[in-house]
């Protein structure tokens, strides 16, 4: 069984989370600059068996696509060209940034630590992945 890798795509930075090999636990992996994302993913799948990419699908409250969806579509096309052997599934990511911020507060992180946007992106990817695992 391979890992599931979740992607919280952002204009500047992208949060990444990964499961264990049994797909039980979701853990934050890292945050990478979005311009380096494809290279990072290509390198990662050479080292680890990944069977699915989960990519957040940003939606508005009325279920229409968010503005950032226009940035994600070209990424998805490039991803399917560069790593065609791994399927991609989309997951609703509404409220994950707010949930990530609340997780940081609940975890006791100090105010200056909560300003770390890279950490918020990584936690958001973990929340996306964990919600997917719960739904399975």
The pLDDT value given to residue 27: 95
- Can you give the pTM of this predicted structure? 0.85
Q: Rounded to 5 degrees, what angle do the CA atoms 8, 93, 82 make?
A: 40
Domains in the chain: ranges and CATH: 3-135 (3.30.420.140)
| Kind plus residue range of the DSSP H or E element containing 125 | helix 117-135
The pLDDT value given to residue 59: 65
Asked if residue 27 lies in contact with residue 77, where contact means CB atoms within 8 angstroms, the answer is: no
The pLDDT value given to residue 44: 98
In 34-100, the DSSP E strands lie at 50-57, 88-92
- Round to whole Å and give the CA distance between 93 and 97: 8
Burial level of 11, CB count in 10 A (0-12/13-18/19+)? exposed
pLDDT in tens, 40-65: 999 999 999 999 999 988 766 666 66
Mean pLDDT of 96-114: 62
104 or 28: which leads in pLDDT: 28
The pLDDT value given to residue 95: 56
The pLDDT value given to residue 134: 85
């Amino acid at each position: 069984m391979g890992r599931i890798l979740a992607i919280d795509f952002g204009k500047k930075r992208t949060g990444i989370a990964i499961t264990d090999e049994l797909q039980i636990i979701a853990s934050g992996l890292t945050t990478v600059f979005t311009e380096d994302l494809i290279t990072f993913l290509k390198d990662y799948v050479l080292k680890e068996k990944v069977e699915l990419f989960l990519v957040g699908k940003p939606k508005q409250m009325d279920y229409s696509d968010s503005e950032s969806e226009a940035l994600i579509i070209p990424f998805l096309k490039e991803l399917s060209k560069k790593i065609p052997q791994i399927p991609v599934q989309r997951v609703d990511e509404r409220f994950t940034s707010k949930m990530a911020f609340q997780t940081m507060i609940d975890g006791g992180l100090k105010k200056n630590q909560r300003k770390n946007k890279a950490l918020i992106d990584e936690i958001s990817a973990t929340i996306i992945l964990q919600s997917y695992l719960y739904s399975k």
